[in-house]
Amino acid sequence: MKKGKRIAILTGGGDCPGINAVIRAVTKKAILEYDMEVIGILDGYDGAIKNRHRKLEYDDVSGILTLGGTILHTSKTANPYRYAVKKGGKIIFEDVSKAAINNLKKLDIDCLVCIGGDGTLYIANRLFEDGIPVVGVPKTIDNDIRGTDITFGFDSAVYIATEGIDRIHSTAQALHRVMIVEVMGHQAGWIALHSGIAGGGDIILIPEIPFDMEIIANKVKERNKKGKRFSIVVVAEGAKPKGGDVVIQRIVKQSSDPIRLGGVGFVLGAEIEKLSGIETRTVVMGHLQRGGSPTPFDRVLATRLGTRALDLILNKEFGYMVAVKGNSLGKVSLKEVAKGPRTIPADEPLIEVARSVGTCFGN
């Protein structure tokens, strides 16, 4: 690819630590090494639909490595192929992808860099199939993107969740309570698994393993009999009982993925207290896991992913996402990424590691 080309960057879905580090890496390498022009699409796919964008200069991305959030902003509801519009007092969904594609083509870009999770990259794949040259970068705190061993944002979220669990330990011990820490994880329990092990959780509940309340209550009572008059439960928001369903916090009608989970910790707490007779409290980590400065690991990973994305662009390897494979960076087709989230497999070694030190998974 000759010097002087133009690329665009878009950040979609939920925010997480490290997005700005990717924007910085892509932009700086593009400008410094290839004299490219970089356009930032504002507010995720909503900016593509409504033609909102701005040019990114070198100084715009200088000093943003440590910042959380995204300087381009984002949207969790904007999907060009299923866009919510209000008509006659009702919300209906329309396909406005042609408008988004026309706006992107008018920018005369050589590639669109889509930074996002499985939803964002699913849309990116559809745009690629409709003629837009696209390269993806895996972003999500949930670590659930197919085709990559890890995503940036995950390490930061685990760090924050673990710190919360550490702080909960002291009050749990002092008051002889069961303390429940609810973390994010809709379909995949990677945050709960990693932070639960790191924080010494006695019980870890994840979406991939439906739990039995009797087993959980018995674990709590057993610890109490042995003189451990407190228990720490780490639960992913998407965890559910055997034969039961997830706890839905709210429905966002204008979103193409309207279900918002949350509150399983409170439901779980009431049941544990009823079955065990031990006072129980719940703390929801919520959006604390998404905010703040990225960990050093995520800063390095985001920088690696961003610079590697530009390599794919230069080689005209469109329709791919940069992927982490062991200690190396590779690529995976967006078509493969679009097949759905990467959940925790039944033979995940960390589950066996946790069980070997006495951790209960409610089954």
- Active-site residue 144, yes or no? no
- Measured distance CA(345)–CA(200) in Å, rounded: 22
Based on the number of CB atoms within 10 Å of its own CB, is 210 exposed (0-12), middle (13-18) or buried (19 or more)? middle
Catalytic residue among 15, 43, 46, 142: 142
- 152 beta partners: 139
Distances (CA, A) of 337 to 154, 184, 210: 17, 21, 26
Single-letter code of the amino acid located at 26: V
- Measured distance CA(222)–CA(229) in Å, rounded: 10
Q: Long-range pairs for 29-32 at CB < 8 Å and ≥24 separation?
A: 29/306, 29/307, 29/310, 30/310, 31/57, 31/58, 32/58
β pairing state of 320-325 and 280-284: unpaired
- Measured distance CA(363)–CA(173) in Å, rounded: 25
- Measured distance CA(30)–CA(180) in Å, rounded: 46
> Which amino acids are annotated catalytic?
142
